[in-house]
Structures are given as C-alpha cells and as structure tokens.
Amino acid sequence: MSPHTTAAYRRDLEALASHLARRGSPDWRTLDGAAIRTFAAAEHAAGLGPRSVQRRLSAVRSFYGYLRREAATTANPAEGVRAPRAEKRLPSTLDVDQMARLLAFRSDDRLSARDKAIMELLYSSGLRLAELAGLSRDDIDLADGTVRVLGKGAKTRIVPVGRAARAALTAWLREHPGGGERALFLSRDGRRLSPRAIQQRVALWARRQGISVRVHPHLFRHSFATHLLESSADLRGVQELLGHANIGTTQIYTHLDFQRLANVYEAAHPRARRRTRS
C-alpha cells in the first residue's frame, strides 16, 4: 500500500482504540456490529464527514479480516455496518480555455522552465502528484513520447506524453544540472522536488495567470480525463491512462461530461428553459 494509505488506516484504527478506551476498554474480541455502529455514529457526531467515516469502517473491516485470517477472532463485526450516505461530489476541472491560459507563460529561466514542464506533464499524461514527484530522468523517453509511471499498488504503466509536454521537458532537461541526483524535477538546492513544493508552485502560477478557481495538481488529472472523454468517449482507454483498477472510478468523469451537456441543453432548449432546475 501507499505510505499515505498506511498512515490513514493507522489513524482510523487509533480512533477506534481511543473510542473503546473512553467506553471502558472492552475486549476487542467481543465487539459486535452494534459497537461498531456506535463508533461510526460517534465519529460522525464529532464532525467527521461521511466519506471519512466510510474509510474508518473500511479500515476496521480490513483489520478484522486480518484477525480472522490469523485465527485471532471468528467474526468481523464491521461487516454490514454502513456509513452515513455521502453526497456525490463531482471533481472540479478547468475547461480547455482556462487550461490554455494557465499554461501560457514564458519559461525563460530555470525555475519557470521546470514549472512549465511539471504542469504540462501533469495535464498531458494525467499523473497523480505522487507519481510525478517520484519520476526519475530514466522514466522519460522523449524520443518515444512516453513516461513510465509507478502508480498505486506499486503498479507500473506507460503513458503517452504530448507534444507540448515533450517540448517543455526538453527545455527543462537543458537546465537540469544532472550529477548524482536522478530525480526528474529538482529543487533550488538540487534535490528531488517534494510534493508540497509542487503544490505551492502550481498555486503560484495559477495566481499569476489570473485563474480564479483554486488550482492544485490533481485538478490537472481531472481536466485531463474530462477533456479526453469529451473528445473520444473511450472510457476504457481513459481508465488505462489514469491507472484506475476499477472502471467505476473512471465513470465519474462521464457524469462531469453529462453535466456540461445538461447545462447546454437547459440553457438553449426552449422547453428546458421554461422549467426551474431542482
């Protein structure tokens, strides 16, 4: 698992341990579904959102699944316990014109050349932040126009790199000091650029370019998927490019596209304009 996943599951199980301690530390082997439902309700009442409660329960289910495999318990009390229904939120995206404006800055020094290469590659290939931050020079093949990415679950995939991104990467690699550090993107002091620094640089350029919405690295991935689906409608292909294990994860972008079409319809169709949107 990703280190972020491991840390999140640890926090979830520690939350359960704290809850049990407050209630007199009952033996975890005796917990039943009612006790887990009480835990989930208490977390939600304390202000935890439905999605976070869902992850708490997922962590507990996985933990008890492990205990059953180890013959430390015979039942999984979290099975069948449901979190509060989460409101389905569609990811934010930039439209094509906004993305073009964001990327239309001059890269006439080392930092701007690096930042342009970062942002062009994020949009060109739909990479996750951790995937981009983990890239080394050897992962990029500019002649072939591809990048080798280590994704979630330590799965490797090969993703195309578009013409604009290849040009930006070529310009950046001319500035790359090389040496012993093989990371693709480097900080001022020649070390691998951290995910946090990438987030800060993306936000900085968004402000400079007059983009009014909050821009973060994952927004490039959402925009990449949405724009591809608008042009191709190839859901399975976009799934492969994004590295999603389950096509259900990719399907949210079809909702985004339909939402755009629905807005156009309701703004333009004479019958649609007569009714009020619910």
Which positions are catalytic?
A: 128, 152, 218, 221, 244, 253
Closest C-alpha to 202, from 264, 120, 275, 96: 120
Say how far residue 153 (Cα) sits from the centre of its chain. 14
β-pair type (140-141, 146-150): antiparallel
Lookup: tokens for 241: 């490019």
* Pairwise CA distance, residues 59 & 9, whole Å: 6
* Pairwise CA distance, residues 99 & 6, whole Å: 34
Count of CA atoms in the C-beta half-sphere (13 A) of 251: 4
